[in-house]
Structure 1
Amino acid sequence: MAGGNAIRGSRVGAGPMGEAERGESAPRVVVSYWCSNGHHTRPSFAQEHGLAVPETWDCPRCGLPAGQDQDNPPAPPRVEPYKTHLAYVKERRSDEEGAVILDEALDTLRQRGLIR
């Protein structure tokens, strides 16, 4: 037997009164959600007046958005690939515009005597 004076079978907040000690539970509504991977989740929400249940819910298994229509779950979000600074510059400027800007910058450096 273990020594000490620990009380077995108890936890913080446990007591003989149970529900009466903590008060009444709020009425709950359970809503089903399905993601595009076919995962099913059923979170519960407090049933309060004027409180809307969300149309989508993040799937706890895969993280995709889940909807309430099992036959038509929301599509996975489109993931944009990482773009470098150069990719953004190329979106804004054509190669000809880039060549003109580069020539102007090189001329400025030559006038200052920083390059030949």
Structure 2
Amino acid sequence: MAKLHYNQLMKEEIKEKTGEKYEQGRRYSRWGSNPGSIRIGEEKIRVEIPRFYDKEEKRTEETSYYKLLHKIPKSNEMKPSEIILKKIIKGLSQRDYEEVTGSVLESFGIS
């Protein structure tokens, strides 16, 4: 659900800045995307980061929503969650990585 919400925020920001696809006469134009990640709870999720080209500044930019979401600190920055810690230890000791990453299907960077 969080990834769907992220995608909707990106689409709205792109449409707000660049208008409809192939629309001319705006300061910004669509400029592809880059791979990236956002943190949801204690896991990182892969996402596509839409980019725009600023014709006045002559440079590419990422969406402001992505910049905000990417800066969200880990929820377990000070003290790791006991549930996650137990899952990681069990997954590493039994080589059962699927159970460790099972809470979020598209997570990466754990194994």
> Which of the five TM-score ranges fits, normalised by the shorter chain?
under 0.3
Choose between structure 1 and 2 for higher RCO, CA contacts under 8 A separated by at least 6 residues: 2
TM-score by length of 1: 0.24
Larger Rg: 1
**Bigger helix fraction:** 2
TM-score by length of 2: 0.24
